Amino acid sequence: MNAFETMAPADGLTRRRGLLVPALILLLVFAALPALLAGFDKGYFYQIANLALIFVLLSASMHLVTGVAGLLHLGHAAFYGVGAYTAALLTSKLGLGFTVTLPLSGLVAALVAFLVALPTMRLVSIYFAVATLAIGQMLYLVMLNWVDFTKGPNGIIVSKGFELFGFSLSGRLGAYYTVAAVVTLSVVAIGRLSHSYYGNALRSIREDDQCADAMGVSTVRLKMEAFTLSAFFAGIAGSLWAHMTGYISPGDFKFSESILILAMVVVGGLGSLPGAIIGALLLILLPEGLRALGDFRNIMVGLVMFLSILLLPKGLLGEVSALRLVRRQLGAAWRNTGKGEGIGWR
Amino acid sequence: MFDPYYLQQLAIGLSLGMTYALMAIGFTLIFGVLNVVNFAHGEVYTLGAFAGLVLISATAPPIVAVILGALAIGALAGFSLERLAFKPFRRFTDEASLKSRAMRESTLLSSLAVSIVVREALEIVFGSQMRSVPFEYLINTPVRVGPVILVTGDFIIFGVAAAMLIGLQFLLTRTRVGLAIRAVSNNPLGAKYVGIDTDRTIITTFVVGSMMGAAAGILMGLYYGAVFPAMGFTPGIKAFVAMVMGGLSSIPGAVICALILGISESMATTFVSSGWSDMVAYGFLILTLIFFPNGLFGARRERV
């Protein structure tokens, strides 16, 4: 009998409840929202919905590295940009479709992240934050100034919309379903990563990396893995963005975007995946809802961030309550299989 | 090698480096007393420049008054910044929470949030476009020195920066206020125990640091003749780089590294287009972090 069993008993009730909330969320994302969108039938609403979903993925991927592993990452938007540019260049130069560019964008972003992580992952705390800031700015400068390759500030037109093995999904509803499906799958993957023994190892780095090191957790390797994985998902988000808007330019991937993603994770609650999702929805939908305020909506982003740090230091949905929610309601509780496997690396 | 062109680039690099140095000192002082990074420092630079611009368009005073006005606004900005973004997160003063990561990160993010609000507010009031400084205030009258053509701005920036550096050195080493600042940055808790008002010292540090940042802003605004709400971002990052290169807590180190940065950047523009010259600073930063993690001039640190 281990401690986790008493925390979340794996009886029939929990298991059934564990299916209810995911089913409701899926119903909302794949049936209710598209029905609403189709009811209004305005391109603008589709744009907002897709944008919000893409930022949910970005925020979730940053949650993995900043929330769970506790590494302050100030250059996340650059990897999002690497993914978007990979998709755009593959489409415009080689004429490849979305089915091919989606995984490739993620892989290229992950590869770039892995290469820059090799020398810098040994740094801790503020030094790490500074290094990621510099890396992000360097990647941004490459996008901006390597005019022969990236067309610089003019940006690239992405001529192809979404498709799946040749079937075009570039209609409004098709695009929404593609984005929603990719984002949902990725968020589930990130959720499985952060609510597992693997996620706990990352949390141990955040709490005390020297102690974790002494306990036999390979901190440098885990940091690199978390960094690379988060860049992979950021690259996926970039590919979605490129195919969704049909036009990308370096301005979409500058420092302020990194800060916006960071603000989402912080407002939602560091270390909490549901919080990161709520934060992303809040910071994308709130400025759109406040469109009537005109120029003041950007100030609102700063104010929301400031007030939430001041008044809700744990975020809208703090880590502890988020963990409880995920374990109880989303069926992610650890279950002892009874085969004597015990606690360990999976 | 003795092409006068290089000498000219060297002079431009020195003026650039001097403004970075003024900014970097603000960063270093604040990092010294609070052990946190003040991300709103770039906005103090912008505020200084805008204060000068408003003064010029309102009353057209002599240039000395413009700089003094910018300094006053800088001091005010530093004071309110500390009260708004840093004081509320210092509720607990025991050693554990002073060193805790959560404290450090919440002030980092709160200063970031304040900087967003300030920048957007400036954009609403003044518009996001560049605003040009009236012609008679521009400090770019050419002056011929031997084979090199300099502008008056190079001398003014060098003079003002040197005066402020000497003033800072005097303040830090010859006055009780400076002694308090050094004591707090050495050991905040110890300083408190011997009767130093740490809260007031922290505010003084913010005021002094922000005055230097605002001075850099107005000088650069007059030098280039353009003032805009996002102007503080790049110098802010450069100054930050200089601080890290100098070893985070060493003022002479930060000044030397800021000069190195300024000079290498202006030299780089002779070989590559100006868009790529920012790469120099970031490259320096990464190389420093990898090979000299204690900074070039910093004291030994336990962990990096």
Question: Residue B10 — φ and ψ, nearest 5°?
Answer: -60, -45
pLDDT for A113-132, tens place per residue?
999 888 888 777 778 888 88
What are B184's two structure tokens? 């707090």
Chain B residues lying within 8 Å of A70, measured CB to CB: 101
> What does each C-alpha distance from A315 to A33, A53, A180, A200, A318 come to in angstroms?
26, 20, 25, 20, 5
Number of domains within chain B: 1
Chain B residues lying within 8 Å of A141, measured CB to CB: 275-276, 278-279, 282
Q: Is residue B302 part of a domain?
A: no
According to DSSP, the β-strands at A156-157 and A247-248 are antiparallel
Cα A148 from Cα B273, distance rounded (Å): 14
Sign (positive/negative) of CA torsion B207, B212, B216, B221?
A: positive
Q: What is the per-residue pLDDT for A337?
A: 53
Counted residue by residue, chain A has a size of: 346
Chain B residues lying within 8 Å of A266, measured CB to CB: 109
Whether residues B273 and A130 touch (CB distance < 8 A) is answered with no
Whether residues B116 and A145 touch (CB distance < 8 A) is answered with no
Q: Is residue B221 part of a domain?
A: yes
Instruction: Sketch out chain A's domains with CATH numbers.
Output: 9-329 (1.10.3470)
Interface test with B, best of A62, A118, A121, A126 (most B CBs within 10 A): A126
Q: Which residue of B has its CA nearest to A257?
A: B116
Q: What is the per-residue pLDDT for A227?
A: 92
Q: Is residue B186 part of a domain?
A: yes
Neighbours of A41 (CB within 10 A): 10
CA angle B97, B98, B104 (to 5 degrees): 95
- Residues of A numbered 119-158 whose beta carbons fall under 8 angstroms of chain B's beta carbons: which are they? 119-120, 123-127, 129-131, 133-135, 137-138, 141, 144-145
Q: Is residue B161 part of a domain?
A: yes
Nearest to A135 by CA among A121, A154, A150: A121
Q: Which helix (H) or strand (E) holds A247?
A: strand A247-248
Cα B14 from Cα A155, distance rounded (Å): 35
Whether residues B275 and A141 touch (CB distance < 8 A) is answered with yes
Nearest to B234 by CA among B42, B16, B38: B42
Measured between CB atoms, which of B117, B275, B293 is closest to A145?
A: B275
Q: Which residue of A has its CA nearest to B113?
A: A302
Chain B residues lying within 8 Å of A315, measured CB to CB: none
pLDDT (tens, 9 = 90+) of chain A, 346 residues, equals 344 444 444 445 555 556 777 778 888 878 778 778 777 777 788 888 888 999 999 999 999 998 888 888 888 999 999 999 998 888 888 878 888 888 999 999 999 999 988 888 877 777 888 888 888 988 998 888 887 777 877 778 877 777 776 677 777 778 888 888 899 999 989 988 888 888 888 888 888 878 888 888 888 888 899 999 999 999 999 999 988 888 888 888 888 888 888 888 888 888 888 888 988 988 888 877 777 666 676 787 788 888 888 887 777 777 777 777 776 666 555 555 555 554 444 3
Measured between CB atoms, which of A127, A130, A309 is closest to B110?
A: A309
User: What is the DSSP-derived secondary structure letter of residue B276?
Assistant: G
Neighbours of A240 (CB within 10 A): 30
What are A231's two structure tokens? 């860049």
Is the ipTM above a cut-off of 0.85?
no
Q: What is the per-residue pLDDT for A58?
A: 93
Q: Is residue B298 part of a domain?
A: no
Q: What is the per-residue pLDDT for B47?
A: 92
Q: What is the per-residue pLDDT for A59?
A: 93
Taking any CB pair shorter than 8 Å as contact, residues of chain B touching chain A are 37, 85, 88, 101-102, 104-106, 108-110, 112-117, 120-121, 123-124, 233, 237, 240-241, 244, 273, 275-276, 278-279, 282-283, 285-286, 289-290, 293, 303-304
CATH number of the domain residue B32 falls in: 1.10.3470
Q: What is the per-residue pLDDT for A238?
A: 92
> B267 lies in which domain range?
4-291
Q: Is A118 on the interface with B (CB under 8 A)?
A: no
Separation in Å, CA of A129 to nearest CA in chain B: 10
Question: Residue A197 — φ and ψ, nearest 5°?
Answer: -60, -35
Mean pLDDT computed over every residue of chain A? 80
DSSP for B37-71, written as a single string: --TTHHHHHHHHHHHHHHHHHHH---HHHHHHHHH
Q: Is residue B299 part of a domain?
A: no
Q: What is the per-residue pLDDT for A334?
A: 55
Measured between CB atoms, which of B108, B117, B276 is closest to A306?
A: B117
What are B205's two structure tokens? 């540090």
Cα B88 from Cα A276, distance rounded (Å): 24
pLDDT (tens, 9 = 90+) of chain B, 304 residues, equals 567 777 788 888 888 888 898 888 888 888 888 777 888 899 999 999 999 888 888 887 888 888 888 899 999 999 999 888 888 877 666 666 555 566 666 777 788 888 888 988 888 888 877 878 777 777 777 777 777 777 787 888 888 888 888 888 898 888 998 899 888 888 888 888 898 888 889 899 999 999 999 998 988 888 888 888 888 888 888 888 888 888 777 788 888 889 988 888 888 887 777 778 788 888 888 888 888 777 777 655 555 4
User: What is the DSSP-derived secondary structure letter of residue A10?
Assistant: -
Q: Is residue B297 part of a domain?
A: no
Nearest to A180 by CA among A330, A56, A36: A56
Cα B210 from Cα B292, distance rounded (Å): 28
Cα A241 from Cα A55, distance rounded (Å): 10
* Local structure of B230: helix, strand or coil: coil
Q: Which residue of B has its CA nearest to A297?
A: B120
Which runs of E-coded beta strand occur in B27-145?
131-132, 142-145
